[in-house]
């Protein structure tokens, strides 16, 4: 079950992150600072903090909400997530002058990513996944790896990556995955596993 949690969490978040505002933020930070290592480290730390808190919340809800309600809440939230994924994110770089005054590249990235992830699709997905799987460590590790898989290439490949990545197609695939997971949860598929 731990391996399943880890792989599902990694896959779901990596797909959900394609074309997301934090992926666009990765591109912008890479283009502005041209120093990938502190940007990648900032993304990693921000994601661990954000998804750690989201995972803890999901695990808490899972232990305090009856299983029947939980299954319906999870199923419906994944289906709602599928719809939300179809709406492209917009990234406003009007705060660019603010980031230049905030200190180092690492701290700027950490701060911007942590804030950008609050209430984001991947944070909500992390809460839902932590409600579904018993291993909080596997969920947070998986969702963090998914974020890194989506954002690190954006940092290293910059604009070339953004032009070649069919973000709309990736959003549709991610929406389909979320919808299928939500329907399977509503139907109780896998409850006995």
pLDDT tens per residue, range 144-180? 999 999 999 888 876 555 456 566 776 677 677 768 8
pLDDT tens for each residue of 11-64: 989 988 887 778 878 887 887 777 889 999 999 999 999 999 999 998 998 888
Measure the CA–CA gap between 149 and 67, rounded to whole angstroms.
32
**CA–CA distances in Å: residue 38 to residues 25, 46, 104, 145, 148:** 14, 12, 9, 17, 13
Grouping H, G, I as helix, E, B as strand and the rest as coil, residue 66 is: coil
Mean pLDDT of 97-102: 43
Q: Is the dihedral of CA 158, 155, 148, 90 positive or negative?
A: negative
Q: Where are the alpha helices (DSSP H) in 118-166?
A: 121-132, 136-164
Residue with tokens 């290293």: 156
The number of angstroms, rounded, from the C-alpha of 87 to the middle of its chain's C-alpha atoms is 15
pLDDT reported for residue 25: 81
Q: Is the pTM of this model over 0.85?
A: no
Query: What integer is the mean pLDDT of 92-116?
Result: 67
CA 130, 132, 136, 142 dihedral sign is negative
| pLDDT at residue number 190 | 57
Please tell me the predicted confidence (pLDDT) of residue 93: 45
CB 65 within 8 A of CB 177: no
Find all residues with CB under 8 Å of 150, minimum gap 6, and list them. Answer: 13, 14, 17, 18, 20, 23
CA–CA dist 7, 124 (Å, integer): 17
């Amino acid at each position: 079950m731990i391996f399943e949690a880890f792989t599902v969490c990694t896959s779901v978040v990596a797909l959900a992150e394609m074309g997301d505002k934090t992926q666009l933020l990765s591109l912008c930070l890479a283009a502005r600072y041209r120093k990938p290592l502190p940007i990648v480290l900032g993304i990693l730390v921000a994601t661990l903090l954000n998804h750690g808190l989201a995972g803890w919340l999901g695990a808490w809800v899972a232990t305090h909400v009856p299983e029947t309600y939980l299954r319906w809440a999870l199923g419906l939230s994944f289906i709602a997530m599928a719809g939300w994924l179809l709406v492209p994110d917009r990234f406003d770089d009007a705060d660019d002058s603010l980031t230049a005054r905030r200190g180092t590249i690492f701290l700027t990235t950490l701060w911007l990513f942590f804030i950008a992830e609050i209430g984001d699709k991947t944070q909500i997905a992390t809460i839902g996944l932590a409600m579904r799987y018993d291993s909080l460590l596997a969920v947070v590790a998986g969702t963090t790896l998914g974020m890194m898989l989506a954002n690190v290439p954006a940092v290293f490949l910059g604009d070339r990556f953004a032009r070649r990545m069919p973000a709309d197609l990736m959003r549709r695939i991610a929406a389909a995955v979320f919808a299928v997971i939500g329907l399977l949860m509503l139907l109780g598929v896998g409850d006995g596993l």
